[in-house]
């Protein structure tokens, strides 16, 4: 294992200290239990937005804390869900009297810990709603799995809900917008290489020189299918077909498209992916109206990409365009 | 078979034993979890059990319920992942059942363990056969019934947990992260069932002595 770290056990806490030093204008850090909080929280009368998950997916979630996006993020150990006391602490830190929305990615650990935290917060008199994202079309949603994983749409939901909360919408309204974004969003990812967590020291799976994994999650877990490596055009066709057919996205639809790097993918390759995706959608009469290209929800140093589409309407587009001021997303 | 008496001191020793067993098997649990999950089970349980032992040392008295509850709280706040809430719930529910008791007989132990396992099932919504810790825990509760009772029942319980753990290998996972692999989860022993077997194995070794 070759990593730019000091101590495998101190990776999360030292990275948080770095964030605090770098972005003190936007956020502050509670160190025990670990929470990244918007600098001006709680904002009176505004719905608090809390998300969280294992570390190793940076910039998600901590990089999205700030005005117009998350009120707080709870970082777990690398690829390990945070604990209920972190989420409870976050809820207390951001509740401005209008309640708190938990945005939870559908992974068993995240769901269970956020459920316990919601119980704790309710007992303390904090109004909490939870929305679970589950946009990954690689996983069958059935009684026989833990259900579809929450992946790329979570980033987009955090931005759009952040804008809605900033406008003063109620907890019920912000939660409803979150559910709409999740319902109209779909994702799928692939990997060229595995990744190595600092604690384990060895790769999460073995992949031959000429192999790729299709349908990966974001925790270094293997994908649904292992296949011979193929050109970018056919990989994109594979991912985009699964996504487009699932919702389905149809001729005339306007979408937000995110081409996301898994952490170890050069941007030049992501633009090739975007080129192929743009062509693929154009041929089907689907218009990319907004886009993100870059590393937003990663899996340490894994090479590979994921594609996320969100079907837009005027309201979602307006909320997407609203100003945002976080370490990783900033405009307006 | 002689009557069984489990004291608060036995419970403290059992938790220390379990922490030791988790530390000893940490690498094995990580390897099992790397195959079908995300490879953090051994690391997380080790961190959690070390915290639980510290918390027990700071908890005075001989109320078994309070001791088990302290273990559960430590696990919930230190483990993370799915194992944190699940093992945390197991110990907290056991603690709720044993509240105010400084000794447990076999019936009291069974009542507590059954409540804990029921809590795990309610929290994780897992059924037998889903390839989870429930596959080791539930048979362990059932095996406490029957003859002979006393210490022999605890040994039967640990053996049932071991068989339940081994039986997870051919199963296709239907809960947790392993379920994302579908049929590719077949042929791997479940890491949660493995750490649950260690729990019952250390219980039999310590509490039946």
Written as six digits, the tokens of A317 are 């587009």
Q: Which residue of A has its CA nearest to B32?
A: A204
Task: Domains for chain A: give ranges and CATH numbers.
Answer: 15-184+320-327 (3.40.50.10440), 185-313 (3.30.1180.20)
Cα distance between residue A130 and residue A179, in whole Å: 10
pLDDT score recorded for residue B180: 80
Exposed / middle / buried, residue A231 (Cβ in 10 Å: 0-12, 13-18, 19+): exposed
Closest chain A residue by Cα to residue B89: A116
Instruction: Convert the pLDDT of each residue in B16-70 to its tens digit.
Output: 999 999 999 999 999 999 888 878 899 999 999 999 999 999 999 999 999 999 9
Is residue A61 among the annotated active site residues? no
Instruction: Please give the residue of chain A at the shortest CA–CA distance from B124.
Output: A112
Cα A96 → chain centroid: 24
- The reply to whether residue A220 touches residue B44, judged by beta carbons under 8 angstroms, is no
Closest partner residue to A116 (CB to CB) among B37, B76, B179 is: B76
Q: Which of B40, B78, B85 is opposite residue A79, by nearest beta carbon?
A: B40
Nearest alpha carbon to residue B121 among B103, B137, B98? B137
Please report residues of A whose CB lies closer than 8 A to that of B172.
144
Nearest to A108 among B43, B82, B88 (CB): B82
Collect all residues of chain A within an 8 Å Cβ-Cβ radius of residue B30: 200
Helix (H) or strand (E) run with residue A271 in it: helix A267-283
Q: B204: distance to nearest CA of chain A, Å?
A: 29
pLDDT tens sequence across A134-183: 999 998 766 667 889 999 999 999 999 999 999 999 999 999 999 999 99
Percent of chain B at pLDDT > 70 equals 99
Q: What is the pTM of this model?
A: 0.88
| Inter-chain touch B181–A222, beta carbons under 8 Å | yes
Judge whether residue A96 has pLDDT over 70: yes
β-pairing, A304-311 with A254-261?
Answer: antiparallel
> How much is the pLDDT for A141?
67
pLDDT higher than 80, residue B209: no
Which residue in B50, B81, B188 has the most chain A C-beta atoms within 10 A of its own C-beta, making it the best mutation to test that interface? B81
d(CA A214, CA A224): 6
| Nearest to B36, CA basis, from B135, B170, B205 | B170
Pairing of strands A330-331, A324-325: antiparallel
- Residue B1 is predicted with a pLDDT of 44
Asked whether residue A63 carries a pLDDT value surpassing 80, the answer given is: yes
pLDDT above 70: residue B2: no
* Mean pLDDT of all residues in B127-138: 97
Given CB atoms, is B50 within the 8 Å cutoff of chain A?
A: no
pLDDT at A322 over 50: yes
Pick the closest to residue A215 from A190, A240, A247 (CA basis). A190
Domain ranges of chain B: 6-207
Distance from CA of A140 to the nearest CA of B (A): 8
Distant-in-sequence, close-in-space partners of B184: CB < 8 Å, separation ≥ 6:
A222, B36
Using a CB-CB cut-off of 8 Å, the residues of chain B touching A74 are: none
Residue from B119, B127, B48, B120 nearest B81 by CA = B48
Domain B6-207 = CATH 1.25.40.340: yes
Q: How far is CA B31 from CA A104, B39, B40, B194, in A?
A: 27, 6, 9, 12
A219 is a catalytic site residue: yes
On the question of a cis peptide bond just before residue A72, with omega within 30 degrees of 0, the verdict is no
pLDDT at A142: 63
Is residue A199 over pLDDT 90? Answer: no
Q: Do B40 and A199 touch (CB under 8 A)?
A: yes
CB contact under 8 A, A149 and B180: yes
The closest alpha carbon to B116, from B73, B72, B70, B157, belongs to B72
C-alpha–C-alpha distance, residues A273 and A283, integer Å: 16
Beta-bridge mates of residue B6: B104
Residues of chain B found within 8 Å of residue A108, distances taken between Cβ atoms: 82, 124, 175-177
Those of residues 149-208 in B touching chain A at CB distance below 8 A are 172, 174-177, 179-182, 184
Contacts of B47 in chain A (CB under 8 A): 77
Find tokens 């990812």 and name the residue: A189
What integer best gives the mean pLDDT of chain A? 95
Q: H or E stretch including A242? A: helix A232-246
Q: Do B80 and A76 touch (CB under 8 A)?
A: yes
- For residue A137, the model assigns a pLDDT of 94
The DSSP output letter for B173 is P
Residues 6+ apart with CB under 8 A from A318: none
Q: Is the peptide bond before A61 cis (omega within 30 degrees of 0)?
A: yes
> CA gyration radius for chain B?
16
**For residue A116, is pLDDT > 60?**
yes
């Amino acid at each position: 294992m070759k990593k730019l770290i000091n101590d495998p056990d101190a990776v999360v806490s030292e990275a948080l200290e770095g964030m605090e030093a770098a972005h003190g204008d936007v956020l502050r850090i509670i160190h025990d239990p670990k929470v990244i909080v918007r600098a001006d929280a709680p904002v009176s009368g505004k719905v608090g937005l809390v998300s969280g998950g294992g570390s190793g997916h940076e910039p998600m979630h901590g990089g999205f804390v700030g005005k117009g996006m998350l009120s707080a993020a709870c970082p777990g150990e690398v690829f390990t869900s945070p604990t209920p006391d972190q989420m409870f602490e976050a809820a207390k830190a951001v509740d401005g009297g209008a309640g708190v929305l938990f945005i939870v990615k559908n992974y068993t650990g995240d769901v269970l810990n956020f459920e316990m935290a919601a119980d704790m917060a309710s007992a303390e008199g904090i109004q909490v709603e939870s929305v679970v994202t589950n946009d990954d079309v690689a996983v069958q949603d059935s009684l026989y799995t833990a259900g579809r994983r929450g992946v790329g749409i979570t980033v987009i939901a955090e931005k759009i809900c952040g804008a809605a909360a900033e406008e003063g919408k109620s907890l019920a309204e912000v939660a409803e917008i979150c559910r709409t974004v999740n319902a109209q969003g779909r994702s799928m990812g692939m990997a060229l290489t595995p990744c190595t967590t600092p604690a384990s020291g060895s790769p999460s799976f073995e992949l031959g020189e000429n192999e790729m994994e299709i349908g990966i999650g974001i925790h270094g877990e293997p994908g649904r299918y292992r296949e011979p490596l193929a050109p970018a055009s056919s990989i994109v066709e594979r991912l985009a077909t699964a996504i487009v057919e699932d919702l389905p996205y149809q001729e005339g639809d306007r979408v937000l498209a995110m081409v996301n790097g898994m952490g170890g993918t050069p941007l030049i390759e992501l633009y090739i992916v975007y080129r192929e995706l743009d062509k693929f959608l154009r041929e089907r009469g689907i218009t990319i109206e907004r886009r993100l290209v870059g590393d937003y929800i990663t899996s340490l140093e894994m090479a590979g990409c994921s594609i996320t589409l969100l079907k837009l309407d005027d309201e979602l587009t307006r909320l997407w365009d609203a100003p945002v001021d976080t370490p990783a997303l900033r405009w307006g | 078979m002689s009557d069984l008496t489990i004291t608060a001191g036995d419970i403290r020793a059992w938790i220390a034993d379990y922490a030791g067993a988790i530390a000893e098997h940490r690498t094995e649990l990580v390897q099992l979890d790397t195959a079908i999950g995300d490879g953090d089970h051994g690391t997380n349980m080790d961190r959690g059990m070390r915290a639980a032992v510290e918390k027990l040392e700071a908890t005075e008295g001989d109320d078994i319920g309070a001791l088990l509850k302290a273990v559960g709280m430590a696990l919930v706040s230190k483990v993370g992942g799915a194992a944190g809430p699940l093992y945390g719930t197991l110990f907290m529910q056991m603690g709720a059942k044993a509240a105010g008791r400084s000794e447990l007989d076999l019936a009291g132990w069974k009542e507590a363990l059954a409540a804990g396992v029921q809590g795990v099932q309610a929290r994780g919504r897992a059924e037998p056969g889903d390839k989870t810790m429930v596959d080791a825990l539930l048979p362990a509760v059932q095996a406490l019934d029957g003859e002979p009772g006393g210490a022999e029942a605890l040994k039967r319980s640990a053996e049932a947990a071991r068989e339940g753990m081994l039986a997870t290998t051919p199963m296709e996972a239907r809960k947790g992260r392993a379920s994302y692999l579908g049929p590719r989860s077949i042929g791997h022993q479940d890491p949660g069932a493995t750490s649950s077997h260690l729990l019952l194995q250390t219980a039999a070794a310590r509490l039946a002595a």
